[in-house]
């Protein structure tokens, strides 16, 4: 009896201190509640029916709602930013590619905050289209090449002290990209801000707040990583071997969320790929399946601005939903990809979001997804908005890359 009372008191205490414990995430499709999405194509009760109205009023309105309620503002480039090429190998991959390492310095001199870029460019062309994407574990994990620099920053920041060269190489498929005439630019995301709740104190939200004229509270970590993608673009615009009009932004998972917000703010990216970006990325927030707003806010409070916490238990009050973020990419080619075993990211919510976003593409007379029914597994569907759900888990695979290459061949190259 005493044990039972102790158990009940402990449980009640838990429920009182952490209301979230009482409400687990729903993983059952039959328990998805009905929801009403904010109307993508209306503004203050007025219907948006052409590109002019969309570009002049609705799109800026949506971007500003995301700024104020979800991710925060993305500032421009610091005026003292400069690039230093630290290595160059014109004979990489048996002569098929040029491999460069470039440090993007955000302040004058070489001691301040910086981002280390690893770049592969095909040798067969004068100028190549390039895929850009931040990596999770350091540049040296993206390819087995033993000469890729392991940066000092990585050594002092990374929790994973083992140097696992090439451990993430299946996620990058450099050889396949080069063989198809594409370059690849990647950098370690935590170069700009450590991925934890105190990361902002040592990251660029603090070190660059004066030069960027933005306070740390005005943006979250996803916006910071989105910003980093744009600084990579700044460099690519200066590289003679790069076709800067054909740069495709990619991102997996949290870095997919960051890529979406980054691309929404930077028109220079010619196409956007969201790989398993899930909650806070492509997936509809109002569909209660898998990770939800309360859970992401609790687990990753630093990813979003403070205001987003207001919606943890009131998602229906959020003035946006993620189809609106995807729609801001229009008319640029947009690819949304899910994985069958990635229920946490809510594949159906990712698909529906892309489906609803397709109506913004229709304004430009560009076809998006053909139907509100999900396509069969491993069968991409759609034109300017394309979607696939592949077999397997939360990851980036060769299959994914093959579809992205086909998509880029068709709409970017
Ligand atoms: C999960 C998180 C997702 C996704 C993922 C990742 O733990 O719940 O939102 O961002 O991590 O980035 O790997």
**Torsion region of 313: left, alpha or beta (phi above 0 gives left; psi -120 to 50 gives alpha):** alpha
Nearest residue (by CA) to ligand 1, atom 13, is 253
Whole-number Å distance between alpha carbons of 120 and 131:
10
In this structure, what token pair is assigned to residue 298? 């609790």
Contact of 275 with 390, CB cutoff 8 Å: no
What are the structural domains of the chain? 64-411 (3.40.50.1820)
Interval between CA 82 and ligand 1 midpoint (Å)? 32
Bridge partners of 387, per DSSP, are 336, 381
pLDDT in tens, 70-108: 999 999 999 999 999 999 999 999 999 999 999 999 999
- Of 35, 71, 63, 20, nearest to 280 (Cα)? 71
Find the length of the chain: 413
323 lines ligand 1 (CB under 6 A): no
Question: One of 158, 253, 274, 277 is an active-site residue; which one?
Answer: 253
In the chain, the percentage of residues whose pLDDT exceeds 70 is 94
Cβ neighbours of residue 49 closer than 8 Å, sequence gap 6 or more: 41, 363
- 394 noted as active-site residue: yes
Strand partners, 203: none
254 lines ligand 1 (CB under 6 A): yes
**Rounded to the nearest whole angstrom, what is the distance from the C-alpha of residue 254 to the centroid of ligand 1?**
6
pTM: 0.94
In contact, 134 and 251? CB cutoff 8 Å? yes
Residues 149 and 173: their CA atoms lie apart, in Å, by 19
Residue 159 is predicted with a pLDDT of 76
Active site residue 312: no
Q: Could you tell me the distance, in angstroms and rounded to a whole number, from the CA of residue 395 to the centre of ligand 1?
A: 11
- 291 pocket-lining for ligand 1 (C-beta < 6 Å): yes
Q: What is the pLDDT of residues 277-293, one digit of tens each?
A: 999 999 999 999 999 99
Q: What are the helix (H) ranges across 150-284?
A: 152-157, 174-179, 199-202, 204-207, 209-212, 221-236, 254-265
Residues 238 and 232: their CA atoms lie apart, in Å, by 10
Nearest residue by C-alpha to atom 10 in ligand 1: 254
Tell whether ligand 1 has an atom less than 6 A from the beta carbon of residue 350. Answer: no
What is the whole-number distance in angstroms between the Cα of residue 141 and the centre of ligand 1?
19
């Amino acid at each position: 009896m005493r044990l039972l009372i102790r158990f009940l008191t402990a449980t009640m205490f838990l429920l009182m201190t952490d209301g979230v414990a009482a409400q687990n995430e729903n993983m059952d499709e039959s328990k998805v509640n009905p929801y009403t999405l904010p109307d993508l194509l209306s503004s203050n009760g007025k219907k948006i029916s052409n590109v002019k109205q969309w570009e002049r009023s609705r799109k800026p309105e949506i971007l500003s709602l995301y700024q104020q309620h979800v991710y925060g503002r993305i500032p421009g480039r610091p005026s003292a930013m400069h690039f230093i090429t630290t290595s160059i190998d014109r004979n990489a991959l048996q002569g098929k590619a040029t491999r460069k390492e470039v440090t993007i310095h955000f302040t004058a001199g070489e001691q301040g905050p910086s981002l280390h870029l690893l770049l592969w460019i095909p040798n067969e062309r004068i100028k190549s289209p390039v895929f850009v994407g931040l990596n999770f574990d350091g540049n040296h994990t993206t390819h087995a090449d033993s000469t890729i620099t392991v940066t000092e920053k990585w050594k002092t920041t990374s929790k994973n002290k083992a140097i696992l060269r090439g451990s993430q190489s299946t996620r990058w498929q450099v050889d396949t990209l080069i063989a198809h005439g594409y370059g690849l630019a990647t950098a370690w995301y935590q170069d700009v801000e450590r991925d934890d709740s105190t990361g902002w104190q040592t990251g660029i939200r603090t070190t660059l707040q004066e030069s960027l004229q933005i306070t740390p509270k005005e943006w979250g970590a996803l916006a910071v990583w989105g910003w980093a993608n744009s600084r990579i673009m700044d460099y690519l615009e200066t590289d003679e071997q790069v076709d800067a009009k054909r740069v495709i932004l990619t991102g997996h998972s949290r870095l997919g969320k960051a890529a979406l917000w980054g691309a929404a703010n930077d028109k220079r990216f010619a196409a956007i790929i969201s790989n398993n970006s899930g909650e806070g990325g492509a997936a509809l927030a109002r569909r209660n399946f898998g990770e939800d707003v309360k859970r992401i806010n609790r687990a990753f409070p630093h990813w979003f601005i403070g205001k987003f916490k207001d919606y943890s238990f009131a998602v229906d009050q959020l003035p946006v939903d993620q189809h609106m973020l995807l729609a801001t990419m229009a008319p640029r080619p947009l690819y949304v990809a899910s994985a069958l075993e990635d229920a946490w990211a809510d594949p159906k919510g990712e698909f529906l979001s892309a489906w609803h976003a397709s109506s913004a593409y229709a304004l430009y007379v560009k076809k998006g997804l053909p139907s509100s029914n999900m396509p069969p597994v491993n069968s991409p569907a759609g034109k300017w908005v394309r979607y696939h759900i592949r077999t397997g888990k939360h990851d980036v695979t060769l299959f994914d890359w093959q579809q992205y290459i086909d998509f880029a061949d068709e709409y970017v190259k």
